[in-house]
Structure 1
Amino acid sequence: MTEAAGIFEQVVSFDPTVDFDAFLKQVPAKGAVYLLADEADLPVQLLCVKNLRVSLKRRLGPPEPGALPSKRIDYRDLVRRIHFRRIDSDFEADWTYYEAARRLFPKTYQGMVGFRPAWFVHIDPAATFPRYTKTVDISGRTGVHLGPLEDKHAAARLMELVEDAFDLCRYYHILVEAPHGKACAYKEMGKCPAPCDGSVSMESYRKVVDWSLRTLIDPRPLIRDQESRMKAAAAELRFESAAKIKQHIEQLSQLGKGPFRHLRPLPDFRYLCLQHGPKTGSAKVFVVTPGSIDHIASLIDAPVTAPSLLRLVFEQAERPTPSPPSLEDTERIGVVSHHLFTAKSHHGVFLPLADVEDKTLARAYRDLMKQKRPEEFDGEGIVKELQGIE
């Protein structure tokens, strides 16, 4: 099967008439994503397990003497090939399983793989009536997508934060009536410049929206400016003004932290990812770009100087990315986003490509080695399972 050959690294044949223990010795007792295929090499079942050998023994092993007939599928009669790929981390397992499911079961995989989409906020400052919206759809729209965010609730909180910090319009249905709309209570509270009723022009309002976008991308310049203003106000004994500026600083200081810690424009969704390798001290190197995940190298020890590896990383990262992203690109971003927000104790290391150099690569490796390695598993350890029902 050409599809399976392009996904999996190894294949073994199964003959129920030959010695089963000898067959099992051909596969590792390690984690794997694997495919059971029939005589025509058509997919029967796709699984992600923590122990391939035990999993195959359970499905393909001869029945116990005296066992009663079962209504379960008799895989021994059906399966003739096993395609598999070794996995050494949860990230590698999710990525490999997703790619295999998408290609082998294109009509049914979406409802069965269980990966959540990545959430973004979208804004087009040049739009006639610009506004921030939360979305999982990053295709086919002008403007900027910022993310990923942990979930839809984090996206909603980010929109509320930026509306409060920059006094943006809260009621879009009134904004679209500008300049003939009727201003809401936020104008009276001094929390909106009211472009809806023409108090300020839409051109001026778009400039404020653009300013808010630039601040979301990098809040540091505005925070520094506000800190200077706060100190000046305090020195002049304008304590009420200083308190208001301090509150504004506290709002802005939420950016880049907590659920917003991975916020960046979609084109900057680029990471060097290190995950545990098959042996203690080893690591696998992945390059993540918008819509692609690529395993480019493996490390058997700590990198001291790695010019060839860094060159390979940046060559991979500079490959053209599709615009707009396809459905598959969006789904891959979702896989990565899930792991970006997983507990740091075991999610591997994700280093923004803009920060990658010899020193940061070595530090990333050390950080990875501090994380707990996946434990050896004596049982099957099914993580994911997809039946060939197409």
Structure 2
Amino acid sequence: MVKWPQTKNNKLYLDKISTVLSSDIWTIRAQKPGDYLTELFEKKWADFCGRKYALLVSSGSAALEISLRVLHIGQGDEVIIPALGWYATAAAVTRVGATPIFCDIDPYTTCIDSKEADALVSSKTKAIIAVHLHCSFAPLIALKELCQNHNIILLEDASQAHGGAYLGNAPGHYALAAAFSFNQEKLIPSGEGGAIVTDDESFYRKAYALRTDGYIPYQYGEWIPSGFLGANFAASEFQAAILLGSLEEFSYFNAIRLKNAEKLSANLSAIEGIHTILQPYEITHHFYYELGIIFSERILSKIGLNTIIEIINNNHIISVSRTDIPVPDNPLFSPYFKHRRHNFLFKNAQQIYDHLLVLHHKFLLQEEIQYILPSLIKSILSSVSKNTINSNSIS
């Protein structure tokens, strides 16, 4: 079975790691003159995203938390976030003391529904976080207009959207800032790591200080207090070394993913009763963290989603899974349901969770995936129609 992370040229990474090992700079907090791979990656990542500034941090979660702290969002404030997705977005909101206001999703894209979000804005709302999920973008134009109309901030959680573009623009163009993750499962991995991108100099300088215990560079090799109470959210030079290699090889792996995803999606579209997650025309550069397949109620009334997943995985060729549970269903966030403005149903988020199967991007590196997965699904549906289904009978 295909693994991830993987590299095309190990020497590319080892040379950069060796550079760190032979130096006396292993972190951006070394506070001494020298060449920092962190700064080199930040410049390359800012250029990659088309933004003026990039800041490398310890994780995607840290990137979100820092962004909220820069804006002084905290106790008594509300932040609107989608009800579907990994819980780190909601966790960042709660860590700064604010209240996450969960919003239902568009069932076609699986991302936040801008009309639902508009209805949730109150006098306490300070920001909306648009999360780009699976392989689709949140409706950034509508969300930007919404935020402008209500005088609130738009942030992006682009942890899964490396290389994606919305109307020709990478994350961070329509929002004040965008957060990325470089966790080992992501499209550009470094084990752990994250980044913030922005065009706003003041936002960048504050975020920089919050990353490095409240200190900012003053002169070459000399740091001074910024006046902000920061923490240590810095990534190491070793992470920067790996990221420089991952970024350099991204276009190679991504071209394979996009080619196979396009063919796989076309083959899946020919199967009655299923469809893939909608990618609106505004997406001008696609990304695939997970390719999502939504099964109709007609199919799932005859065979459960978990059974479909079990049969596919029992073939030991590929592995599929359900998406993460709706965030409001996570026991960690049950206290926030006391807020009477919450939409308790989140019917679209729940429906998608009940009907969605996801395929991790590593399997899109196999050319055979475009045939294997459609063939397995066709076999399952054929067995269902003949009432001969058995988790071990399909090969």
With normalisation by structure 1, the TM-score equals: 0.25
Larger radius of gyration: 1
